[in-house]
Amino acid sequence: MSHGHFIWNELTTRNAEAAVHFYKATLGWTFEVMPMEGGGTYYTARDGEAYVAGIFTMEGKYFEGVPEHWFSYIEVDDVDRRAALFAEAGGCVARAPWDIPNVGRIAVVQDAGGAYVGLMKPIAR
């Protein structure tokens, strides 16, 4: 476990398929397809054998008015407790913790300065 370290980045875009083609052409990444809960497709990017990022199409109320962007996740020991600590310290919980099967537990938080980041406790590797 690498508590407190950035562990994952994902591109949230309006056109995941176009982004996949772009990053294949520019960085040589290969991709695997993973269905998302509730619909949609999540693309996991690989550089050789290493998983390096994810890409998905922004859809739904959480993304209204949100520009395309790269989003980072920090690994933590306890997502629920750390999200609560963000709120206690003057930040907020933008999306309450939830589980993603075969991935782990995630929350989206905002720090006291307004920056968003994901908190993640991956399933045992």
Q: Alpha helices, DSSP H only, in the chain?
A: 16-27, 79-88
Q: Identical fold at 1-62 and 76-125? A: yes
pTM of the model as a whole: 0.86
The angle at the Cα of 12, spanning 55 to 125, to the nearest 5 degrees, equals 45
Residue 33: how many CB atoms within 10 A of its CB? 9
CATH fold of 76-125: 2,3-Dihydroxybiphenyl 1,2-Dioxygenase; domain 1 (3.10.180)
Task: Identify the CA nearest to 53 among candidates 37, 77, 76, 69.
Answer: 69
CATH fold of 1-62: 2,3-Dihydroxybiphenyl 1,2-Dioxygenase; domain 1 (3.10.180)
Task: Identify the CA nearest to 17 among candidates 47, 1, 50, 40.
Answer: 40
Chain segment 53-106, per-residue pLDDT in tens: 999 999 888 888 989 999 999 999 999 999 999 999 999 999 999 999 889 999
- Domain ranges (residues) in the chain: 1-62, 76-125
Chain segment 12-28, per-residue pLDDT in tens: 999 999 999 999 999 99
**Alpha-carbon dihedral angle through residues 44, 46, 70, 120, given to the nearest 10 degrees:** 60
Task: Tell me which of 5 and 1 has the higher pLDDT.
Answer: 5
Which residue type sits at 124? A
* DSSP code for 124: P
